Amino acid sequence: MSGYLLVFIAAVLWAFIGVFSKAILEAGVSSMEIAFWRATIAGILFLIHAVIKKELVLQKRSDAPIFIAFAIFGVTVFYSSLILAIDAGSISLAYILLYSAPAWVVLLAFLLLKEAISPKKLILLALALAGVILVSLDNSSSIAVNPRAIFWGLLAGLSYASYYIFGKWILGHYKVITIYAFILPIGALGLLPFVNFSAKTPITYLYILAVSFLSTYLAYLVYFTGLKKIEASKAVMVATVEPVISAILASIFFAEVLGTKGIIGGLFILLASFLSLDFKKKT
């Protein structure tokens, strides 16, 4: 199977996080509990995988703080904020704001790594900001655009940016199964104090298993398998279809339709995401 197809399959599996999560939310399960079970079940699967492959080991104790930080931002904050954004607004809105991540990377690199913001990066930031403003002004009757939805969506994008910040170093030193075998359980522990467990029907458990196995464990494995076959920049470009697919799925399953401003704003954010790939190759 080609690398492009594998990455596309991963993007589809990630897009289904919105559908599965929305169905679980409608069954009365809280956002924090969904995030907890997603991280816990997928973490157990990666732990088993890592033990079988004999990959459950840290190269150095000094690497532990990096794993913990990645777990907090990349799992505890990211997993919860994405579902909170879906709960507060809509699937489409949450996924569009999620892809503000490259703009956050530019800002974080400037603040934390002292990387200069070039004119091209300013264009990226301007496009992303314009997109967020347009999305926030969307007056579509089927999409709930409100301050809470915008806040959680942008926080999802900010925490997703940790995959760029931490991922560049950690993927150069550890295998994927090792990384997720550590960060998912740690991230789940970070979520546990905020979880109020509720009663669930068999179909709700099925959705929880789906978001944990299909959209997390399997999606990560498929994506990184595809990444081995094609260039990282091309893989990310293919994966950027994720918010488009999520919007289509949201329209099919929940009748969510973005208004004109939301569509234009979403295109601006996605354009900024595409441009960031070019920036990374040249800077």
CA 280, CA 220: separation in Å to the nearest integer?
Answer: 22
pLDDT above 70 as % of the chain: 93
pLDDT digits (tens, 9 = 90+) for 54-90: 999 999 989 999 999 999 999 999 999 999 999 998 8
Which H or E run contains 236? Answer: helix 232-239
- Average pLDDT over every residue of 204-230: 93
Is 220 within 8 Å of 11 (Cβ atoms)? no
- Which one-letter DSSP state was computed for residue 210? I
Is 264 within 8 Å of 134 (Cβ atoms)? yes
- C-alpha distances out from residue 173 to 60, 164, 170, 176, 179, Å: 11, 15, 5, 10, 10
- C-alpha distances out from residue 165 to 108, 116, 159, 236, 238, Å: 8, 16, 10, 15, 20
pLDDT digits (tens, 9 = 90+) for 94-145: 998 998 887 888 888 788 767 777 887 788 888 888 888 888 777 665 677 7
Q: Is the pLDDT of residue 280 over 70?
A: no
Q: How many domains does the chain have?
A: 1
Is 10 within 8 Å of 219 (Cβ atoms)? yes
What's the pLDDT band for 171 if we cut at 50, 70, 90?
confident
Burial class (CB in 10 A: 0-12, 13-18, 19+), 82: buried
Q: What pLDDT does residue 236 have? A: 65
- Average pLDDT over every residue of 10-25: 96
Q: What pLDDT does residue 96 have? A: 87
- Which one-letter DSSP state was computed for residue 75? I
Token pair in block for residue 66: 């990096």
pLDDT above 90 as % of the chain: 52
The pLDDT mean for the chain works out to 88
Q: What pLDDT does residue 2 have? A: 82
CA 200, CA 122: separation in Å to the nearest integer?
Answer: 47
Which H or E run contains 177? Answer: helix 176-191
Q: What pLDDT does residue 39 have? A: 98
Burial class (CB in 10 A: 0-12, 13-18, 19+), 116: exposed
**Residue span of the structural domain in which 245 resides:** 3-282
- Angle at alpha carbon of residue 57, lines to 33 and 162, rounded to 5°: 50
Which H or E run contains 25? Answer: helix 3-26
